[in-house]
C-alpha cells in the first residue's frame, strides 16, 4: 500500500503552528487537537520543522517552566524527515523505526499533503495483513 492510499483513508488534515508562536501556545494546540506533533510553518507557510511531545519534554527538563515562554523555532526539530505519497507504507515504517521518529510529513512537488504517525502506519499495515489473511483462508477453503 502507498502512503497516498493511507492518506485517502485517514485524511489529509495537518495540524500546524507558526514558528514564532510560544511553546505554551504550541502545547495548548497539541492538547486541543489531541495530537503528538505539530508541523512548524514559517511566514510563507513553508515547512520549517516539526514540534513533537518529545521536543517539549526535553526542553522542559532543560529549562523548567520558563521553557514555555520560548518560541517554537528554538525548540522544534529542524532536520525533518519527509517522504512522498508514492512511498510504500512498509518503507515508511522502516524509515520511522531506523530514525526513531513517530511523525513524517508527506510532501509532493514541494507541497505538504499530509502527515503520518507511527500509529497510522501500524494500523494500515494491520488492516493490510488482515486482508491478506482472509484472502489466504478463502483460497485454502476453496480447494
Q: How many domains, the chain? A: 1
pLDDT digits (tens, 9 = 90+) for 122-134: 998 888 888 888 8
pTM for the complete prediction? 0.86
Number of C-beta neighbours around residue 122 at 10 A: 13
pLDDT band (50, 70, 90) for residue 143: low
Mean pLDDT of the chain: 93
CATH of the domain at 130: 3.10.580.10
Residue 65 reports pLDDT greater than 70: yes
Q: Which domain holds residue 47?
A: 3-142
pLDDT digits (tens, 9 = 90+) for 11-63: 999 999 999 999 999 999 999 999 999 999 988 888 999 999 999 999 999 99
Query: Cell 502527515, residue?
Result: 115
Mapped onto helix, strand or coil, the DSSP state of residue 15 is coil
Amino acid at each position: 500500500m502507498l502512503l497516498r492510499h493511507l492518506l485517502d483513508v485517514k485524511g489529509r488534515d495537518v495540524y500546524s503552528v507558526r514558528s514564532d508562536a510560544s511553546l505554551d501556545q504550541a502545547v495548548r494546540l497539541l492538547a486541543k487537537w489531541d495530537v503528538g506533533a505539530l508541523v512548524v510553518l514559517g511566514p510563507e507557510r513553508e515547512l520549517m520543522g516539526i514540534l513533537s511531545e518529545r521536543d517539549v519534554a526535553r526542553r522542559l527538563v532543560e529549562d523548567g517552566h520558563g521553557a514555555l515562554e520560548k518560541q517554537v523555532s528554538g525548540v522544534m526539530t529542524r532536520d525533518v524527515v519527509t517522504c512522498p505519497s508514492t512511498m510504500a507504507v512498509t518503507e515508511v515504517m522502516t524509515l520511522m523505526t531506523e530514525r526513531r521518529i513517530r511523525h513524517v510529513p508527506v510532501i509532493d512537488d514541494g507541497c505538504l499533503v499530509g502527515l503520518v504517525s507511527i500509529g497510522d502506519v501500524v494500523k494500515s499495515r494491520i488492516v493490510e495483513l488482515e486482508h491478506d489473511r482472509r484472502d489466504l483462508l478463502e483460497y485454502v477453503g476453496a480447494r
